[in-house]
Structure formats: structure tokens, C-alpha cells
Chains A and B, each alone.
Chain A
Amino acid sequence: MKRLLVLGAGTAGTMVVNKLRPLLADDEWSITVVDQDDVHLYQPGLLFIPFGSHSPSGVVRPRRHQLKSGVDLVFGEIDLVRPDENEVRLADGRVLAYDQLVMATGTTPRPDQTPGMLGAEWRRSVFDFYTLDGAKALADKLATWEGGRLVVHITEMPIKCPPAPLEFAFLADSFFAERGMRDRVEITFVTPLDGAFTKPVASRMLNGMLEQRDIKIEPDFYIERVDDEAKKLVSYDEREIPFDLLVTVPLNMGADYVARSGMGDELNYVPVDKQTFQSASWDNVFAIGDASDVPTSKAGSVAHFAVDVFTGNFLRHIRGEEMTERFDGHANCFVESGGGKAMLIDFNYDQEPVPGKFPIPVIGPMTLLAERRVNHWGKLAFKWIYWHALLPGRRLPVPTSMSMTGKEVTDTTEIEKEKV
């Protein structure tokens, strides 16, 4: 009996085991997945919790209920992977041996990594919303906040779901307007990037959307520390941004066991081939989803497209054949823009987001890179799709590789030509 061991029963790990279980004979392969708890969090739902429009209980379900029968779930904290011995040690001393290993332990916000962030103001005037506790605490704060300087801040790239902080700023603008207090709130968007987003066409558009909403942007801000007494952000080049309410996206890092095992880069991401997810150092080790170092967005959509490619490749790999499918870096993100509308962006390793239709070229019904109500409905409907189609590994009516049909590709050289 051969053993497939998957670390992490989140979005990527759950899809991997559910896709592979029907394809691997029960009497030839056992499949075991390890996680530290039984709480599967629907992460796209976190964004709405601070504004009171999603109930916190609606975004969690037991991990074990998301797994197909024939998959063993082991609860435990991972201490170490020993890739040369093909085994994983858990903190309580248990040892799990494997023939093939998939690391899918994601990425986690780490407020402890920025001096002052976890200080006396944490969850008083300094909040995150990428954790359920953080999102709930922020909801309580916003319910009674009387206004002032709201700073929405990204510590460092990469972060998971890169548009989420922008969406937070747009939704905050709507939220305060609906409560009749927008004039009492000054919103500033602080980012280490040189604009609202990384890709030129989308960035130009999103910069415009910030401007329309009277949200100030503070680009190229690389934080050194939070001064929690004076309530301000301080950058390495000594710029200071005062706040009354800080909503930050802390540094994102891969799991600490990755570093302890000597398998990660400086942010604990596992270096892999960006088209097959195979480890650069061990040919029976793969990393998929946010845990890997592939240069595309850390997002559930990416994990979904990635798992589609990985599944076929893995079957070839265990037969000793070459892995012939190639992941193109396809990412697809809804961007809530407030007022019941959303944008949708679609991009890959080589092609930045441009206008067009999705999922069916030319027809849609959703429109890329434009604010539409139908996109917002798409985002809300996605929650059902996530639990009922995505995690179980059903085929979704969206293409794995990105389509360029019907897209308006402009020459972006002009936009990129700004001074260094």
C-alpha cells in the first residue's frame, strides 16, 4: 500500500484529496490529510463580517465533512518534515511516513513580525480582518465607531487575496456613507506598492476608483513599526501616518514547520516548479496553494486552477511518466467595490488583467475589469459553489487556463513607462 500524505485541509489540501481519491485505487493508495483543527473557514466571507453583512457562523464548517470517504483526517500540529527520510513528525511525537507528500498549509497573517503591531492597541484601535476573531472584533468596533482617520494598510507583499484590502476600503466608504457619517471619516489606503494594484491596467483603474471615493493613497510605504502610543505608522524612510483606526494586513508567512524543516524561502514558502508544483529539491514533494512560492496571487481561485493541473500530473508522476500539463498562473478575483457592485479580474503569469467577459468569452455574463451588479451577485453565489462544488472537486464551468478571446489587450508599455 502506498501512502499519499497531504499537510493542511484548507482550500487546496481538501481539493487535492477529493480530486485524487476517486482516481487512486483504494487497495493501492491510502490518502491521509493532517490539520491542527476541525474548522474549515470560508475565507472570502471574512471581508464582509466587519460590516455586519455576513454572520460569522456562516463561514465555518467542520473540515471532516468536506472530505470524501476513504480519506483519513489526522489532527495534530506539524513539527517537522524530514524529506530525506520521507516522514513527517507531529508535535506529540507521532510519525507519519509517506511515499508522496503534498504541502498545502497555506499562509498566515503574522502581526508579531512588525514591532508595535501586537501592542496595547491591538484589537482596540489596531485590527486585522483576515482571521475570524479579527473580523468579529472589527465588526464590534465599527458598530460604535464615531469617525476619524481610518487607515487601511498592507504590510508587505505577497498577501493572500491581494485585492481584499482595496475591497475593504471601498466597502468602508459605502458603509460610512450609508450610516450618514462619511464626512466624519478620512480614509487612507497605505501600500508598499507604487499604486493601488500590481498590474498596470487594473492599477490605473483602481487608483481612479479610490480617487472617486475620496480615499487617499499613500504608495511605496514600507512599514518599520507601529507606534501604538502616538497611534501612527512609521516607515523605514521615516514617513509617519497617524490613525484613529488602523485596519492592517499583517505580514503573511508560510507555516513555521516549513522553516524548521529547512524547506522554505525567507517567508517560509516552499520553492516549487511554477508549472507543476514539484519541489525543486525532492521529486516526491509538492507544494500547492498559498504554501508554494509560485509567482501568482495567493488565492482560492489560483488553488482551484492549480489543483486541476496538478491532479492529472500527479497520476502521470506516480506511473513514472513525465508531467505534461502546465499551470499558466491563472487567477480570477472578484473585487467588491461597494454599493452592491463588484469588479472581476482575470490574469495569469504573462497576461495582466484586461477588460473582457467571463466565464464565457464575449458572452459573460460577468464583465471583467468593470463595476457591475452581476459581478457582486457572482461573488455572493460563489459561497455556495465553494462548499458544494469546489471543495468536493466537481468540475466547474470555468476554464483552467485563461482565455484571451474577446479581451481588449492594449499596449501597456505607455502605462509602465513612469519613472523609476
Chain B
Amino acid sequence: MSLATLAGREVHVDGEGFMTEYDEWTEELASTLAANIGIELTDAHWDVIRFLRDDYRSQGETPTLRRVTTVGGIPTKDLFGLFPKKPAKKMSYIAGLPKPAGCV
């Protein structure tokens, strides 16, 4: 774990640059994180990010793609359109959450 400066603020990140403190995240930081990986946030991106933030707060875990689709109601195809190639990783990176655990 280390400190990184994002949008002029110091935040905690892991070895891959994922933010590790839920409460350090702000909407402004999300735009910076998105820009880091070449994504410009639209309303459709924000729907996903807000679902991720809310679901993490209630479940304590980053939702998987399947959960975003079945519980969040956002088709998997759209997730690949919004966050190309690696949606699970990219959406959690922007939402300031750990990447989904599911892979064990």
C-alpha cells in the first residue's frame, strides 16, 4: 500500500493503483481515474459507478460483472462497451474499489 497524488489530493492505493480507502474517493477523483485509463465518463458510466459504490457499501465486496447485470440491471454487453476489454477491473478502478475477488 502506498500514497498517490490524484487530482491534487493524497490517497491510498495498492500496488496496481486501485484506491484502498472507500471514503477517500470523490466524484471528482473518479473523472481523474477514468482519464488515467483513457475513459471519459458519461451518464451511462455514472450509473455503473453509483451501483458499484452503493453495492460495495451494503455488501462489503466489489460486485462482479454478473452481479452488476443481474442486480444492477445493466446488460453485460453495455459494460464491455463502456469499459472496453477489462470491464470488471476498469469499473472498480474508477469507482475507487478493490478489483472483484471472485477469482480464486
Q: A interface vs B, CB < 8 Å?
A: 156-158, 162, 193-194, 198, 220, 222, 224, 236-237, 265-267, 295-297, 331, 412-413, 416-418, 420
Contacts and interface: CB of A to CB of B under 8 A. Distances in A.
B89 interface: yes
Contact of A156 (B61, B66, B84): B66
B23 to A, nearest CB: 22
A158 B64 CA distance: 11
B86 A420 contact: yes
B103 A417 contact: no
Interface string B56-98: 0000010011110011000011011000111001100100000
B37 A420 contact: yes
Contacts of A236: 76-77, 79-80
Given A237-B84, A265-B67, A420-B16, 10 more contacts: A157-B103, A158-B102, A193-B103, A224-B77, A236-B80, A412-B15, A416-B16, A417-B16, A420-B89, A420-B93
A164 to B, nearest CB: 14
B80 A198 contact: no
A232 to B, nearest CB: 18
A220 B87 CA distance: 10
Nearest to A413: B15
B76 A222 contact: yes
A413 B61 CA distance: 22
Contacts of B77: 224, 236
A416 B65 CA distance: 21
B86 A194 contact: yes
B42 to A, nearest CB: 18
A193 B85 CA distance: 11
B104 A297 contact: yes
5 contacts: A157-B102, A162-B104, A222-B65, A331-B104, A420-B93
Given A266-B71, A296-B104, A420 B80 contact: no
Given A236-B76, A266-B70, A295 B101 contact: yes
A390 B76 CA distance: 41
Among A158, A193, A418, A420, which residue has the most Cβ atoms of chain B within 10 A?
Answer: A420
A297 B80 CA distance: 26
B100 to A, nearest CB: 9
B49 to A, nearest CB: 15
Contact of B104 (A158, A220, A224): A158
Nearest to B94: A420
A294 B77 CA distance: 28
Contacts of B93: 420
Contact of A418 (B16, B66, B85): B16
Given A236-B76, A295-B101, A296-B104, A266 B67 contact: yes
